[in-house]
Amino acid sequence: MKYSSQRVAYPYLLLAVALFALQIVLGLVIGAQYVWPDFLKDVLPFSQGKAIHINLLVLWLLLGMMGATYYIIPPESKREIHSTKLAMVQFWILTIAGLIDAGYLMAGFSEGRKYLEAPWPVDIMIIIGALMFLYNVGMTVLKSEKKTSIQAVLLTGLIGLSVLFVFGNVMVRNANFSIDQYWWWWIVHLWVEGTWELVVAALTAYVLMRLTGIPRGHIEKYLYLEVALVFLTGILGIGHHYYWIGTPKYWMMVGGFFSALEPVPLALMVWNTFQHLKESKTVPTNKVALNWLVIAIIGNFVGAGLMGVVHTLPIINQWTHGTQVTAGHGHMAFFGAYAAHIIAVVYFVLPEMRGVTNTFDQRSGMRSLWWMNLSMLFMSLTLMAAGVVQVYVERISGVSFMLVKNTYLTGWMIMRLVFGLTFTVGVLEFVYDFIRISKSKPMEQTLQNIVTGSFSSSGGAAATRR
Ligand code: HEM
Ligand code: HEM
Ligand SMILES: [Fe+2]
């Protein structure tokens, strides 16, 4: 770590990891409620548990992206962050906003905009936090001598996602339900299939460059092409959410065609990354971070691209809309594309911050990687299969929703819970690893401690063993 202001990334990543763990606890509760409907029903009804599960998801991913940005923007700009004080004030505003939102949802309230059920004062706090963030990052970039395409793509993504939040969340207050839905998709969809893709593309480019030593020029060559393609397909692909909410019919054609093209830029990213890896001359020491990064790229293609495209055409979506097929795609896409990306960045940042990139023990990281990824793959496949059964029995044969849920789907829901539990094993190991690496001491410091005789802490001993 070259710049001391990069340290502000730590509280953001710490909170992101803590909220990820909390999100999973809630996932287990609502997953259990699918199997035993009375489980904790008076303490945390399904509707509230699910709202908190997915609100936390959005919050921790955003915090992760902010932490990652604060970490990579100083070396990219070759200067310290404009104001670390502002970054910390922003951190506390967002933390308090998150706490108020959790309390509001726990108390049984909801604004009804899925993923964004927070009350409006919280929305305002989030907007203030986002503006502080953009100002801070923007000033740092503006003051840098040489502008890079990584800075440009990252900033475009961050500005875009903030603007969309304002459009979809504030402008439509008290609007008619259809209008509200229309703009609401601008947030969730144009985030995950547009602006967030830009943010993670820039993060990938930077981390890949640093982990493997590939020259900047090679990486930048494709960055703009991917970005242009993501934008083209993502913005018009939004039509796949307009089919059934009362928008004009041409959206069926536009949405069907362009969203079917969405896997193209994602496939290009996979191809590109493997190309870069082949070109890289050095053997990367930080294998955990690199493996998570490769998984994120493949996960994006499989979860978003493939599992998205199979239900995106209107003739298919008319049957699968809002079934477990959607949930299967949602889990694999969010986890594969975004959660995995943030975890990759965490594994890149933490060891570097502690000065132990070449020495830290990677066994725990690799174990949690396997637990989480295999579990999520099987969990989403289970949900997709349950969705197909649901389509046949409920949508085609006309058996009622509750009867299908309580009988035909039970086996699949038990399987989902089992994979949820194995996923949790991976999360626990990841949290343990996060704390362990946070506490580790760099080798030089450990050696110095031995020389000066002040060598006593267990953290130091662990670092020598590595
Ligand atoms: C990383 C990118 C993506 C993420 C995180 C993601 C996530 C999600 C989630 C969570 C939903 C459920 C929304 C709800 O709560 O109602 C959804 C719906 C949907 N997604 Fe994606 N998605 C991504 C990319 C894609 C792509 C590339 C396609 C098409 C090729 C696609 C096709 C769809 C369709 C058709 C629906 C609507 C399902 C329905 O009608 O119930 N998604 N997506
Ligand atoms: C222990 C692991 C997990 C379990 C047991 C679990 C369980 C659940 C359950 C039961 C739902 C409600 C689905 C419905 O309304 O029918 C849900 C929704 C959702 N979860 Fe999870 N979840 C877990 C982990 C995750 C992870 C890691 C992510 C993403 C990174 C995630 C993202 C989502 C999303 C986006 C939805 C909304 C999907 C939709 O409504 O279509 N979950 N989860
Ligand atoms: Fe979409």
Whose structure tokens read 């996923």? 423
Are the CB atoms for 369 and 22 separated by under 8 Å? no
* Tens-digit pLDDT profile for residues 148-175: 999 999 999 999 999 998 887 776 666 7
Count Cα neighbours of 61 within 13 Å in the Cβ-side half-sphere.
25
Are the CB atoms for 281 and 352 separated by under 8 Å? no
Whether ligand 1 lies within 6 angstroms of the CB of 330 is answered as yes
Whether ligand 1 lies within 6 angstroms of the CB of 307 is answered as no
Residue 425 has pLDDT above 60, yes or no: yes
Q: What is the DSSP string of 310-329?
A: TTTSHHHHHHHTTSHHHHHH
For ligand 1, atom 20, name the residue with the nearest CA.
Answer: 308
Checking 410-413 for CB contacts under 8 A at 24+ apart, the result is 410/35, 412/324, 412/382, 412/383, 412/385, 412/386, 413/31, 413/34, 413/35, 413/386
**pLDDT for the residue numbered 450:** 56
Are the CB atoms for 403 and 341 separated by under 8 Å? no
Whether ligand 1 lies within 6 angstroms of the CB of 296 is answered as no
* Cα of 307 from ligand 1 centre, angstroms: 9
Task: Return the closest-CA partner of residue 107 out of 46, 27, 48.
Answer: 48
Q: Which atom of ligand 2 is nearest to the CA of 372?
A: 27
Q: What ligand has the least distance to the C-alpha of 194?
A: 1
* Cα of 243 from ligand 3 centre, angstroms: 12
Read off the DSSP letter of residue 145: S
Q: What ligand has the least distance to the C-alpha of 113?
A: 1
Which stretch of DSSP H or E encloses residue 371?
Answer: helix 363-390
* Tens-digit pLDDT profile for residues 382-415: 999 999 999 999 999 999 999 999 999 999 999 9
Whether ligand 1 lies within 6 angstroms of the CB of 321 is answered as yes
**pLDDT for the residue numbered 466:** 28
Task: Return the closest-CA partner of residue 75 out of 158, 149, 1, 161.
Answer: 1
Which mutation among 60, 116, 240, 245 tests ligand 1's pocket best, with the greatest number of atoms within 8 A of CB?
240
Are the CB atoms for 183 and 172 separated by under 8 Å? yes
Mean pLDDT of 123-140: 95
For ligand 1, atom 30, name the residue with the nearest CA.
Answer: 309
Q: What ligand has the least distance to the C-alpha of 258?
A: 1
Residue 344 has pLDDT above 70, yes or no: yes
Whether ligand 1 lies within 6 angstroms of the CB of 258 is answered as no
Q: What ligand has the least distance to the C-alpha of 22?
A: 2
Measured CA to CA, the distance from residue 47 to residue 30 in angstroms comes to 9
Encoded tokens for 249: 């019919």
Task: Return the closest-CA partner of residue 334 out of 289, 383, 288, 291.
Answer: 383
Encoded tokens for 356: 């132990």
Residue 457 has pLDDT above 50, yes or no: no
Encoded tokens for 273: 């990354």
* Tens-digit pLDDT profile for residues 242-301: 999 989 999 999 999 999 999 998 888 888 888 888 888 778 899 999 999 999 999 999
Which mutation among 185, 193, 236 tests ligand 1's pocket best, with the greatest number of atoms within 8 A of CB?
193
Mean pLDDT of 358-384: 97
Nearest 5 degrees, angle CA 304-CA 307-CA 310? 125
* Cα of 422 from ligand 2 centre, angstroms: 15
User: pTM score, two decimals?
Assistant: 0.94
Q: Which atom of ligand 2 is nearest to the CA of 420?
A: 1
Are the CB atoms for 179 and 194 separated by under 8 Å? no
Tell me which residues have their CB closer than 6 angstroms to ligand 2. Answer: 24, 27-28, 30-31, 34, 50, 53-54, 57, 326-327, 330-331, 334-335, 339, 420, 423-424
How distant is the alpha carbon of residue 163 from its chain centre? 19
Whether ligand 1 lies within 6 angstroms of the CB of 54 is answered as no
How crowded is residue 263: how many other Cβ atoms within 10 Å of its Cβ? 20
Q: Read off the pLDDT band of 188 (50, 70, 90).
A: confident
* Cα of 27 from ligand 2 centre, angstroms: 6
Close Cβ partners of 274 (under 8 Å, ≥ 6 residues apart): none
Are the CB atoms for 167 and 89 separated by under 8 Å? no
